[in-house]
């Protein structure tokens, strides 16, 4: 029987390792994210990579490397391994000559990769007996939280900026979440959670302020390794806001290397932000460890509109350590790219992933992504959730239709 090999948790800044598994935790004593640790030495002898990979279903197949101790606490919505899809036309369009694959996370329950983090975190909340969860969100995390928590009979209090895409707000309440629009940014929403949690008996599920959403995001890295036959791609581009996905993938790579599942080769991690909200890119360029808050943040790619992130130093470190970089891309280019790539490939890209394509184009042009490199872009969510460009024409049935006019030749 598969079981969790979790042993304890550790402060990501100081390495203090006195935090017990099976207990409720938020941040470390130093106010930084906690990381779950596993008995990888024992697991190395007891588990077989290929047997685990061959298990049916999606992210729950990685039981040994997840924190949940009892199967009865697992909340599942029928997760699957999300497909990686070859995008040769998009590669041509952005000027990349090598392999280009897109991992389509829009196929997960609630149609974004947030399902990974919240599926695990809510299952842990159930295991720990938590009854009321609260969270700030830019949209996709809120709907994933609502969906998994409602199944587990856990109450949710969700706060989002008042210009969050309408579908994110309505899908969240339809799936049983209580949600409020707030006239501020996601970090302002986070302050409401922090201020109300004592009085309301809320557990704070903010990004990296509890340790288990990260464990769920980790499964993205595990899955990529399996899909690439345990030889990771040369470059991974990920649209980044709070940074759990990047930190989670990196943690997965480290654990897999310790287990002997992969070698030491790491992809260069290209952390992509929008020019209207690029605190991590600014800190990276300035050679800083931490990022200052970005004022007047704006971008249509709402998932990456995060003015300030508690895990900033982790993301910046990973970009440096991997030989990658943190880049900001132009908003107009991002919106054009969204239309172009979706149209070329028939993919329901989200605008966040379009930002990653702009970064790939810039990398190919400027030579920091090489023509023979294997590139993976993560489509972090389903484009249907956003206000899409309306490109339809209109026809008047009371006048003759000008058919040739429907297909103008250029």
Ligand X SMILES: *Cc1c(COP(=O)(O)O)cnc(C)c1O
Contact characters 354-393, ligand X, x per CB under 6 A: --------------------------xx------------
Decide whether 96 or 213 has the Cβ nearer to ligand X: 213
Footprint (CB under 6 A) of ligand X, residues 245-264: 245
What is the closest distance, in whole angstroms, from the C-beta atom of residue 373 to ligand X in the complex?
23
Contact characters 89-118, ligand X, x per CB under 6 A: -----------------------x-x----
Q: H/E/C letters for each residue in the chain? A: CCCCCEEEEEECCCCCCCEECCCCCCCCCCCCCEEEEECHHHHHHHCCHHHHHHCCCCHHHHHHHCCCCCHHHCCCCCCCCCCEEECHHHHHHHCCCCCEEEEEHHHCHHHECHHHHHHHHHHHHHHCCCCEEEEECCCHHHHHHHHHHHHCCCEEEEEEECCCCHHHHHHHHHCCCEEEEECCCHHHHHHHHHHHHHHHCCEECCCCCCCHHHHHHHHHHHHHHHHCCCCCCCEEEEECCCCHHHHHHHHHHHHHHHCCCCCCCCCEEEEEEECCECHHHHHHHCCCCCCCCCCCCCCCCHHHCCCCCCCHHHHHHHHHHCCCEEEEECHHHHHHHHHHHHHHHCCCCCHHHHHHHHHHHHHHHHCCCCCCCCEEEEECECHHHCCCCCCCCCCCCCCCCCHHHHCCCC
What is the closest distance, in whole angstroms, from the C-beta atom of residue 239 to ligand X in the complex?
4
Decide whether 53 or 253 has the Cβ nearer to ligand X: 253
352 binds ligand X (CB under 6 A): yes
Footprint (CB under 6 A) of ligand X, residues 211-250: 239-245
Number of Cβ atoms within 10 Å of the Cβ of 197: 16
What is the closest distance, in whole angstroms, from the C-beta atom of residue 106 to ligand X in the complex?
8
Decide whether 292 or 365 has the Cβ nearer to ligand X: 292
Decide whether 40 or 304 has the Cβ nearer to ligand X: 304
Count of residues near ligand X by CB under 6 A: 17
Give the span between the Cα atoms of 221 and 252, in whole angstroms: 5
Decide whether 175 or 380 has the Cβ nearer to ligand X: 380
User: Site for ligand X (CB under 6 A): which residue of 81, 108, 222, 304?
Assistant: 304
Decide whether 81 or 306 has the Cβ nearer to ligand X: 306
Beta pairing class for 34-38 and 6-11: antiparallel
307 binds ligand X (CB under 6 A): no
Decide whether 40 or 242 has the Cβ nearer to ligand X: 242
160 binds ligand X (CB under 6 A): no
User: Site for ligand X (CB under 6 A): which residue of 12, 140, 156, 342?
Assistant: 140
Footprint (CB under 6 A) of ligand X, residues 192-211: 207
User: Site for ligand X (CB under 6 A): which residue of 303, 307, 324, 363?
Assistant: 303
Decide whether 112 or 156 has the Cβ nearer to ligand X: 112
Give the span between the Cα atoms of 188 and 4, in whole angstroms: 36
**Which positions touch ligand X (CB under 6 A)?**
112, 114, 140, 207, 239-245, 303-304, 350, 352, 380-381
């Amino acid at each position: 029987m598969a079981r969790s090999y979790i042993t304890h948790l550790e402060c990501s800044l100081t390495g203090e390792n006195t935090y017990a598994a099976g207990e409720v935790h938020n941040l470390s004593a130093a106010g930084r994210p906690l990381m779950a640790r596993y008995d990888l030495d024992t697991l190395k002898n007891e588990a077989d990579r290929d047997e685990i990979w061959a298990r049916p279903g999606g992210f729950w197949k990685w039981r040994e490397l997840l924190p949940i101790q009892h199967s009865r606490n697992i909340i599942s919505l029928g997760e699957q391994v999300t497909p990686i899809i070859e995008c040769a036309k998009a590669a041509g369009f952005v000027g990349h000559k090598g392999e280009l694959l897109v991992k389509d996370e829009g196929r997960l329950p609630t149609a974004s990769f947030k399902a990974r983090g919240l599926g695990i975190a809510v299952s842990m909340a159930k295991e720990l007996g938590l009854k009321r969860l609260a969270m700030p969100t830019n949209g996709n995390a809120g709907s994933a939280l609502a969906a998994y928590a409602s199944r587990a009979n856990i109450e949710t209090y969700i706060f989002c900026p008042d210009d969050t895409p309408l579908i994110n707000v309505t899908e969240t309440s339809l799936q049983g979440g209580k949600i409020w629009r707030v006239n501020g940014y996601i970090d302002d929403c986070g302050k409401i959670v922090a201020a109300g949690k004592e009085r309301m008996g809320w557990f704070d599920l903010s990004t990296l302020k509890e340790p288990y959403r990260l464990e769920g995001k980790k499964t993205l890295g595990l899955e990529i390794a399996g899909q690439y036959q345990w030889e990771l791609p040369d470059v991974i581009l990920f649209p980044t806001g709070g940074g759990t996905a990047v930190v989670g993938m990196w943690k997965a790579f480290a654990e897999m290397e310790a287990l002997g599942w992969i070698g030491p080769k790491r992809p260069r991690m290209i952390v992509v932000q929008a020019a209207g909200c690029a605190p991590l890119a600014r800190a990276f360029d300035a050679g800083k460890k931490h990022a200052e808050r970005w004022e007047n943040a704006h971008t249509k790619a709402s998932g990456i509109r995060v003015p300030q992130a508690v895990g900033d130093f982790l993301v910046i470190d990973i970009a440096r350590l991997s030989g990658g970089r943190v880049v900001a891309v132009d908003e107009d280019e991002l919106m054009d790219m969204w239309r172009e790539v979706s149209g070329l490939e028939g993919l329901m890209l989200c605008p966040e992933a379009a930002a990653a394509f702009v970064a790939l184009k810039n990398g190919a042009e400027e030579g920091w992504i090489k023509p023979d490199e294997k590139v993976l872009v993560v489509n972090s969510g389903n484009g249907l959730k956003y206000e899409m460009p309306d490109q339809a024409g209109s026809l008047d049935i009371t006048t003759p239709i000008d058919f040739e006019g429907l297909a103008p030749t250029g």
